[in-house]
Structure 1
Amino acid sequence: MTFDETVQLSNQWLNELMLAVDWEDKHRAYRLLRATLHALRDRLTAHEAAQFGAQLPMLIRGFYYDGWHMTDRAPAERTKSAFLGHVEAAFKQDPNADTEALVREVFKLLTHRLSAGQITDVKHMLPPEVRVLWPLESGEEASAV
């Protein structure tokens, strides 16, 4: 894939996210995607984080890995509030009304753009209270999440 193609694909992802969250600011959508990807990455094993990252467009993969300190230990705090707090930290100067709804939109984007098998693997590595932020797959019940 050429650099121009990955820029175009990354812009498609950001445009799709902007439409979903009803924002017109691409940099704001970038911060949301980046913060959510970092919160997710930091809750996966190193192996799973690398497998997940391999499916991202090259440009998005770059900011997904930015600042990563590879470890196979999950963070001590694995609650939904800690996950959402990580995303909220990216918006200290620009607070959001509903971080949970915004994270759910990022997860919908990821579900739409990445393989179902990869999404299933990632979801199963997360604690149940974070897992419920993902959209349900066809045939999946809310209690099964």
Structure 2
Amino acid sequence: MSTTTKASAIDHATQVAHSWVNEVARQFDTGDREFAYGVLRAWLHVFRDRLTVEAAAHFAAQLPDLIRGVFYAGWDPSAVPIKYDAEGFAVRLAHDATLDKRDVGKASAAVTNAVTHFLPASHLDKAMGHLPPDVRALLRP
């Protein structure tokens, strides 16, 4: 494999990750990509930690390389699933994304919309099937 091919693969992975962040920014109606990245990262982590190890691994397998890295960053599979309801999800997402709790619904919907822009809805729906109904409702646009 040539150096050019390796660099191209890295460039492509970076471009795809930028596309995800840009889509979250677009969905949230902001030009602040750092903010959009923080919301995406927090959403991925709070979502991941509510899933079983198996469900998280199945969902992560559908993610592009760098987004999958974000998904797994800091993960402790021995400590999941963390059992929280919609209120607990909202509190954690607000904290991790440095959002006002009143913005959690908008942020959750923005990231869910962005994720479904890139992944088939069936992949997200399968993972969401592992969540309690009140958490699923919070994540739905």
Which category of TM-score, normalised to the shorter sequence, fits these structures? 0.7 to 0.9
Conserved? CA contact 2:13–2:64, under 8 Å: yes
Q: TM-score, normalized by length of structure 1?
A: 0.83
Change (3 A) 1:2 1:22: same
Partners of 2:80 and 2:100 lie apart in 1 by: 30
Q: TM-score, normalized by length of structure 2?
A: 0.85
Listed as ranges, the gaps of 5+ residues in structure 2 are 1-7
Q: Which stretches of structure 1, 4 residues or more, deviate above 3 A after TM superposition?
A: 94-97
Listed as ranges, the gaps of 5+ residues in structure 1 are 137-145
C-alpha displacement of 1:123: 1.4
2:138 alignment partner in structure 1: 133
Partners of 2:58 and 2:78 lie apart in 1 by: 14
From the two aligned structures, give the one with the greater helix fraction: 2
Q: What is the aligned-residue identity percentage?
A: 34
1:88 alignment partner in structure 2: 94
Conserved? CA contact 1:45–1:72, under 8 Å: no
C-alpha displacement of 1:73: 4.5
Aligned length: 134
2:34 alignment partner in structure 1: 27
Give secondary structure in 1 for the equivalent of 2:22: helix
Out of 60, 63, 69, the position equivalent to 1:56 is 63
CA RMSD after TM alignment: 2.0
Partners of 2:35 and 2:140 lie apart in 1 by: 22
Change (3 A) 1:120 1:96: closer
2:3 alignment partner in structure 1: none
